Amino acid sequence: MQKLYSQAGTVSDSTEVSKVLRNTYTLLAMTIAFSAFTAVISMAMNVPYLGLFMLLPYFGLLYAVEKTKNSGWGIVWVFALTGFLGFTIAPILNYYVSSMGYAPILTALGGTSIIFFGLSGYTLVTRKDFSFMGNFIMVGILVAFVAGIANVFFNISGLSLAVSCMFAVLSSLLIMWQTSQIIHGGERNYISATVTLYVSLYNIFLSLLHILGVTSDD
C-alpha cells in the first residue's frame, strides 16, 4: 500500500511539473512576442532613452506582479511589465540600427536563443538540482547591478564591458536555476517563473548586444 501511495505521489508531482513547465513556456513565448510588438512601436515612434528613470516603473511593475501572482491579475501585470521593457529597449535598438545595422541585433537574438534552449534543455534532460546556486546568483546580480549604476556616473568602458559579461553569465545561471526549481518542486507558480526567465533573457540579450558593440568598435 505504501508503495502504491509513493507511486501515486510521484505521478502527481510529475503531472504538476509538466503543467508548470507548459504554462511557463507558453506565457514566456506570449510575453516575448508582446514585448517585441511594443519595441517595434517604440522604435517607430523614436522614443528617447529613459536611462535610470525606467527603474522606478520597472520595480513598481515587479512588485505588482509579485503581489498578484496567485490571481488572474498577475498575468495582466506580467504583460504590463514585459511590454514596458520592450517599449524602453527600443532606443537602444535604434542606436545600433543607425550605427551598425541589424547584424548585431540579430546575432544577439540568435545567441540568446541558443543559450536559453541549450541551458534549459540541459537542465530538463539531466534533471540536475541547481538550487545551491541561488544565493550566489542573487549576490552576483546585486553586485553587477550596483556596478552598472555606478558606471552610469563614472562611464568607464572597461567596467561597462565587465558588467555586461557578469549579467550574461549570471542570467544564464539563473535560467538553469529557475528551470531546476520547477523540476524539483521549488517553484509552482508559473507567473513567477515566467518573469524570472523573461528578465534573464532580457539581460542576456542586452549584454550580448553591448559586448558585440564594444568588440566591433575595437
Condensed to tens digits (0 to 9), the pLDDT of residues 4-57 reads: 444 444 545 788 888 999 999 999 999 999 999 999 999 999 998 887 788 899
Higher-pLDDT residue of 11, 75: 75
pTM for this entry? 0.90
Q: How many CB atoms lie within 10 A of CB 111?
A: 18
Distance CA 190, CA 78 (A): 11
Confidence at residue 4, expressed as pLDDT on a 0 to 100 scale: 43
Name the residue range of residue 143's domain: 2-217
Confidence at residue 109, expressed as pLDDT on a 0 to 100 scale: 95
Average pLDDT, the chain: 89
In sequence order, which residues have a C-beta less than 8 Å from that of residue 11 and are 6 or more positions away? none
Distance CA 16, CA 22 (A): 10
- How many CA atoms are closer than 13 Å to the CA of 10, on its beta-carbon side? 6
Confidence at residue 218, expressed as pLDDT on a 0 to 100 scale: 52
Distance CA 32, CA 171 (A): 16
Q: Are 176 and 133 in contact (CB under 8 A)?
A: yes
Report the number of distinct structural domains present in the chain: 1
Distances (CA, A) of 208 to 162, 176, 178: 12, 18, 21
